[in-house]
Chains A and B, each alone.
Chain A
């Protein structure tokens, strides 16, 4: 990146890595254009297929390493839904597992050098979060009818406080998809930008480049952690919201 001003002080463009580019042709990006986002989403599908389909093709009683990881991911999400949302939540297991594995794999693929991180884009995470929000809200009304509104009516609070609490609950409910999506995109984007900034320093410091390179290594380790944790957080919040839809009474 920043080839045109090489060797001339700091030329740090930490946000360039997030740019969406058309991979074939230079024209404007249409909704159907094959972009780097398309490529890395496709690679995410490929990675998931390799892990969960090819890795489990032997259906071994004693699992191979790949199959072990696939089973662990399965058990992890299954247990999470069961613990947080209860047995009824397991209806949504394939959906939640899809979200989890997509976010997890995209986060990790984004950590490869020169790659593009689809989950660093608010458009992507907002869609994921809106999907969860709509699913949970519609299912809440479908399952509980008007009783779903009891979610906003805190019956354990004093009567006088309840209308005020209802407004707060309502606002917080509608803020959920926002925080849900910005948390993921923000975390991923910030880490990648920080690494890029350090990389920019390293380019300009000559012999002292060792310092930012060490920092990059440390931040990269942190980012590996963040990639896993944010996928986990996104999934467990989905379970929590689902639990609200299943059991709306406070």
Chain B
């Protein structure tokens, strides 16, 4: 069957042989296979495979970059939170200071006001006391005068022309002291 490769072969042979074993077609197949493989090899090794390789590494790089970026952003967020917390604590401390200052200032004013009020009260009290003392003194003097005049009148009435005013005064003063 190796001698014929034309279409009449299958008519002549009742049990057709395998075209795979028709050696006359081998050079043709091998030649074209060789061409095909060389062409494929060149296309693949020059164009297709390097291109796919770059795409794959680029993708890997892009994923890595994105992951790195995400990591960085996360770090930035944590930093921002820390800064925020710090600022918050500072503000809180500051606010506490202001409150304390205000408190102490108010206390000072209060103290001053109290002291002033106290001194005013004290001076008023002293004045009043003095006034009371004067009143008392004048009252006592009035009482003495009244007592003197009354005593003189009584003495004059009981024994006229006997005693002088001086003795009566001394006697009244002695009595009032007792």
Contact = CB atoms under 8 A, between A and B. Distances in A.
B54 to A, nearest CB: 7
B5 A28 contact: yes
B11 interface: yes
Interface in B8-29: 10-11, 16-22, 24-29
A94 B49 contact: yes
A44 interface: yes
Interface in B28-65: 28-37, 39-41, 43-45, 47-49, 51-56, 58-59, 62
Contacts of A20: 5, 19, 22, 25, 28-29
A115 interface: no
Contacts of B47: 53
A120 B28 contact: no
B166 to A, nearest CB: 135
A31 B54 CA distance: 39
Contact of B30 (A52, A70, A123, A189): A123
Interface in A84-104: 93-95, 97-98, 101-102
Contacts of B44: 48, 52, 94, 97-98, 101
A250 interface: no
Contact of A59 (B10, B11, B39, B54): B54
Contact of B52 (A13, A15, A52, A120): A52
A91 to B, nearest CB: 12
Given A13-B16, A59-B51, A189-B20, A118 B33 contact: yes
B19 A98 contact: no
A13 B56 CA distance: 48
A45 B40 contact: yes
B19 A18 contact: yes
Interface string A17-47: 0111100001011111101011001101100
A102 B36 contact: yes
Interface centre among A56, A97, A98, A118 (most CB of B within 10 A): A98
Given A20-B5, A98-B40, A61 B58 contact: yes
A240 interface: no
Contact of B19 (A15, A94, A97): A15
Given A20-B5, A20-B19, A94-B45, A123 B32 contact: no
A70 B48 contact: yes
A122 B25 contact: no
Nearest to B32: A38
A31 B5 CA distance: 13
A54 to B, nearest CB: 10
Interface string A178-190: 0000000100010
List the 4 closest pairs (A to B, CB-CB), nearest first: A31-B27, A52-B48, A94-B45, A20-B25
Given A4-B11, A20-B25, 8 more contacts: A16-B16, A28-B24, A44-B40, A59-B51, A74-B56, A75-B56, A94-B49, A123-B29
17 contacts: A16-B10, A19-B10, A20-B25, A21-B7, A26-B6, A29-B5, A41-B36, A52-B52, A61-B59, A61-B62, A70-B48, A74-B56, A94-B41, A101-B44, A121-B29, A123-B33, A124-B33
